[in-house]
């Protein structure tokens, strides 16, 4: 899910939509005061110490590292023993088969009436904020976790779509999606502790959230030209996004200070990025992380190798969007709740925020 890098947001008493009020200048990023180098901040962090109470010091050290990485880079790399490489490989295999279907076969699974929040989103529909050209990628939205019985935002909590002729689909999606969501929840707990908040400050607000396993697919046989952008530079509108390792390189992120970094996720690791909801809850202490995906020389090298082996040339991302529950209110928490932060990040229901962003990226018709 995409969102602008602008920081404006409408207040309750105003009529102007916040994406039209984004001309208010963002404050400059803080000076580099972190204790480790940027590359060290991005070194893989094992979540194992969060799963055990054996070593309180190791747990606190991890939480501090997670909080620092999110503040400095808006992202971090984690290793989670609950995320099995075999489940990831099976998931990618299934998604390559699905995206390899004909256009007509895939379009049966589209649900534009509910803003593509479940089922498939066709290519050339999503438009990153600040861009004119739509992305050539496809996406499939599969809900992860229970949905609330009562909510103001039913279309954000719709029933899932199961493609015809793929009986293994629900199990494959659920196994990998739930594993990655557990990682997101662990990072949320670690971040809360590292920020000096209650350990459950974030995860309690995530309960009943419209979490989505949302893999993208881009046909590199058609779009595999050097420099081709198939996911324009954007930030995500949700709370935390987690990416499994793709079979093709090409992901670039931007750090808080604007420094670009080409990401190479190590085997067995996952990349976590902060979304706009995290930025809201921390009053801008954490900024939503910008990223894009494009064809690089390394992408082309992998394409050539796979073509020689007769393998799929669909680049599949393995992505879960962790959300704050639609009926929760987004506003700065704890020490981040200052008059300055509230002016920039006024209270708004998470569901309303998401709907406004869907309009901005053309997934919802106003």
pLDDT at residue 4 is higher than 60: no
Q: Which among 100, 361, 87 has a CA at the least distance from the CA of 217? A: 100
pLDDT at residue 314 is higher than 90: yes
Question: In 132-261, which residue ranges form alpha helices assigned H by DSSP?
Answer: 169-194, 203-206, 220-223
- At 114, is the pLDDT very low, low, confident or very high (cuts 50, 70, 90)? confident
pLDDT at residue 73 is higher than 60: yes
Q: Which among 5, 4, 50, 53 has a CA at the least distance from the CA of 29? A: 5
What gap in Å lies between CA 324 and CA 321, rounded to an integer?
10
pLDDT of residue 34: 34
pLDDT at residue 251 is higher than 80: yes
**Which residues make Cβ contacts (< 8 Å) with residue 236, sequence separation at least 6?**
1, 2, 3, 273, 275, 276, 288, 289, 321
Tokens of 206: 């995530």
Please tell me the least confidently modeled range out of 112-116, 183-187, 294-298: 112-116
- At 9, is the pLDDT very low, low, confident or very high (cuts 50, 70, 90)? very low
What gap in Å lies between CA 198 and CA 128, rounded to an integer?
34
pLDDT of residue 132: 67
The string of DSSP codes covering 208-232 is T---EE--EEEEHHHH-STT-EEEE
pLDDT of residue 259: 87
pLDDT of residue 149: 78
For 85-102, the pLDDT digits (tens) are 999 999 999 999 999 999
- The torsion of the CA quartet 130, 246, 307, 127, rounded to 10 degrees, works out to -20
pLDDT at residue 19 is higher than 60: no
For 334-360, the pLDDT digits (tens) are 999 999 999 999 999 999 999 888 887
Diameter of the chain measured on Cα atoms:
61
Q: What's the pTM?
A: 0.86
Please tell me the least confidently modeled range out of 20-29, 33-42, 295-304: 20-29
- At 362, is the pLDDT very low, low, confident or very high (cuts 50, 70, 90)? low
User: To the nearest whole number, what is the mean pLDDT of the chain?
Assistant: 86
Q: Can you name the residues that pair with 3 across neighbouring β-strands?
A: 235
**Which residues make Cβ contacts (< 8 Å) with residue 49, sequence separation at least 6?**
55, 58, 59, 61, 62
Tokens of 271: 């990349």
Chain centroid offset of residue 194 CA: 21
pLDDT of residue 171: 97
For 203-231, the pLDDT digits (tens) are 999 999 999 999 999 999 999 999 999 88
3-state secondary structure (DSSP) of residue 353:
helix
Please tell me the least confidently modeled range out of 26-40, 139-153, 185-199, 275-289: 26-40
pLDDT of residue 364: 45
Evaluate whether 220 touches 315 at the Cβ level (below 8 Å).
Answer: yes
pLDDT of residue 264: 87
- The torsion of the CA quartet 203, 205, 208, 212, rounded to 10 degrees, works out to -70
């Amino acid at each position: 899910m995409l969102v602008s890098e602008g920081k404006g947001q409408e207040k309750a008493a105003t009529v102007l939509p916040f994406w039209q009020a984004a001309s208010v200048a963002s404050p400059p990023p803080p000076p580099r005061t972190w204790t480790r180098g940027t590359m060290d901040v991005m070194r893989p962090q094992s979540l194992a110490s969060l799963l055990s109470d054996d070593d309180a010091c190791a747990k606190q050290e991890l939480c501090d590292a997670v909080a620092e990485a999110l503040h400095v880079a808006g992202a971090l790399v984690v290793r989670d023993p609950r995320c099995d490489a075999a489940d990831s490989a099976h998931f990618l295999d299934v998604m390559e088969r699905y995206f390899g279907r004909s256009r007509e076969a895939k379009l049966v699974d589209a649900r534009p009436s509910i803003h593509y929040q479940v089922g498939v989103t066709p290519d050339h529909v999503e438009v990153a904020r600040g861009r004119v050209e739509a992305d050539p990628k496809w996406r499939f939205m599969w809900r992860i976790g229970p949905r609330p019985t009562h909510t103001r935002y039913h279309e954000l909590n719709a029933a899932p779509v199961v493609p015809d002729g793929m009986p293994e689909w629900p199990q494959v999606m659920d196994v990998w999606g739930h594993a990655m969501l557990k990682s997101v929840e662990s990072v949320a707990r670690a971040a809360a502790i590292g920020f000096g908040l209650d350990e459950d400050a974030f995860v309690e607000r995530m309960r009943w959230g419209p979490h989505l396993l949302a893999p993208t697919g881009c046909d590199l046989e058609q779009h595999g030209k050097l420099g081709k952008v198939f996911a324009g530079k954007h930030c995500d509108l949700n709370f935390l996004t987690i990416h499994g390792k793709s079979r093709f390189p090409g992901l670039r992120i931007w750090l808080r200070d604007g420094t670009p970094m080409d990401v190479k996720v190590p085997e067995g690791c996952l990349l976590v990025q902060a979304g706009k909801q995290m930025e809201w809850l921390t009053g801008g202490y954490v900024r939503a992380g910008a990223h894009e995906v494009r064809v690089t020389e390394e992408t082309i090298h992998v394409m050539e190798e796979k073509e020689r082996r007769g393998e799929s040339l669909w680049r599949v991302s393995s992505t879960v969007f962790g959300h704050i529950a639609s009926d929760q209110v987004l506003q700065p928490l704890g020490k981040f709740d200052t008059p300055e932060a509230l002016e920039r990040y006024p209270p708004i229901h998470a569901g309303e925020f998401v709907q406004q962003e869907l309009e901005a990226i053309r997934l919802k018709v106003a």
